[in-house]
């Protein structure tokens, strides 16, 4: 569920990369940004789970 990319946002992202950044560096930054945006959207929409519920599901200590 991607949202439309704004050119200005893409320019800012590229401008923050170091001079010797690679295509892989750029792809990583895009991936991280998209993951964060999707997580924020899920949170705003109430599509989250309590930490205790997740820990219980995987048998992790609280």
pLDDT more than 70, % of the chain: 97
User: Which tens digit of pLDDT belongs to each residue from 40-57?
Assistant: 999 999 999 999 999 999
pLDDT for residue 26 is more than 80: yes
Q: Per-residue pLDDT averaged across 15-36, rounded?
A: 96
Please count the other Cβ atoms lying within 10 Å of the Cβ belonging to residue 28.
Answer: 13
Domain ranges of the chain: 23-62
Nearest one of 42, 43, 14 to 28, comparing CA atoms: 14
The whole-number pLDDT of residue 1 equals: 54
């Amino acid at each position: 569920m991607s949202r439309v990319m704004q050119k200005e946002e893409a320019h800012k992202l590229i401008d923050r990369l170091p001079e010797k950044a690679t295509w892989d560096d750029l792809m990583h930054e895009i991936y991280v940004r998209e993951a964060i945006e999707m997580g924020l959207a899920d949170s705003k929409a109430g599509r989250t789970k309590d930490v205790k519920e997740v820990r219980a599901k995987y048998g992790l200590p609280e």
